[in-house]
A = this chain, B = another copy of it.
């Protein structure tokens, strides 16, 4: 059999681009043996051609001229691994207009300007493949888009940002405070020098937008996601949570009910027994609840050179086989226009809550606090008050049964106004995952 080469362009010779070059070169024979697709690197494009890379490009040309890719009629597939927003959007449109299918890991672009990019792909009858945009080496796009396609997805609970999970694991496991855990994550290479978009929850929200568009087949407006990061998580709450049997995780949460879809990124407690609670360090995982399949769970490395390259090259193979194009064309919100998702307001979601207050150590105060909750019809499932050791303030930790979020917010505001309550109360939802059974 003659090897009909599939010629590809890699745009962005950074970490992921390097991984893709390495993988295509090292595994070409193996990929050919298993799938019949023979990949050949034609172009590797980057503005910085001087930096030393840990891999040598054999065969293809390394240059800084996107135009050469656009003009090369033999190249039908381009991997955009540059990242960023405005320039990347222009690049996607040019590549699509030039008749290339685009494979990308650019979650920010697809989450915030996906509508525009997908419309361009439709216009030029091309596709955008994006397995690498969420959870790196874990093929969750395939799982949701194909494996669970026949299901109605009811809820998704994801740990989709390795930086945050590494930091929270450092706080939870070794008792470091947030600043120290962040510094160690940076030293270990699991957090960027500027970690803002990771720790403030934006990156998780990007992934949630993409996963939700796919899972529900609806247009998802990134701005509809309520986002809270981990940057004000306190070690004390992680500790109290552990005493109560919980781990604190930054969750990307999609929850579909008859009233609509709720999309949130927030630090939440999870029962220690849940598979999600046990995801530690830089790993990612997602629990998906679907009407027929029930609970399925996916775990692995959500970032890094080779895990992300694994997803990029998988997509390149799928594009080469023609499958990515058909999937894209078939999927609502991608190759087909979709209705906007009906969103449910955050206030209408319900949850169990963990509440920590610092209160004056004085008779009647706890009763007053519980009274405020009672007035809002908030049922308390547990309460923990420690004797004051040195000061006049004591921590009070309260857990609730299922409560409307709007009611909880009102109660917290009222508690904050009590003269006996010091500083802002800390209120963290306890994620009650549907039962496995």
Contact = CB atoms under 8 A, between A and B. Distances in A.
A235 B299 CA distance: 31
Interface string A287-307: 000111111111111000011
Contact of A300 (B27, B30, B297, B318): B297
A12 B192 CA distance: 55
A52 interface: no
A40 interface: no
Interface in A119-158: 131, 136-139, 142-143, 146-152
A371 interface: no
Contacts of A18: none
Interface in A84-125: none
Given A326-B321, A332-B35, A292 B309 contact: yes
A339 B295 CA distance: 37
Contacts of A139: 142-143, 146-148, 296
A317 interface: yes
Interface residues of A, number: 66
Nearest to A294: B301
A322 interface: yes
A275 interface: yes
Contact of A297 (B293, B299, B314): B299
Nearest to A27: B150
A34 interface: yes
A27 B151 contact: yes
Contacts of A150: 23, 27, 31, 309-310, 313-314, 316-317
Nearest to A318: B146
Contact of A310 (B217, B292, B310, B323): B292
Given A147-B139, A151-B310, A292 B23 contact: yes
Contact of A290 (B291, B310, B330): B310
A103 to B, nearest CB: 12
A131 B152 contact: no
B311 A147 contact: yes
A414 to B, nearest CB: 41
B298 A298 contact: yes
Contacts of A19: 292
A76 to B, nearest CB: 16
Interface of A: 19, 23, 27, 30-31, 33-37, 131, 136-139, 142-143, 146-152, 216-217, 275, 278, 281, 283, 285, 290-301, 306-307, 309-311, 313-314, 316-318, 321-323, 326-327, 329-332, 336, 338, 436-437
Closest 3 CB pairs of A and B: A139-B147, A137-B293, A34-B217
11 contacts: A35-B331, A36-B329, A139-B142, A142-B143, A275-B275, A292-B307, A292-B309, A292-B313, A297-B300, A299-B299, A322-B326
Given A147-B314, A149-B318, A150-B314, 6 more contacts: A137-B293, A150-B309, A281-B436, A290-B310, A292-B313, A323-B323
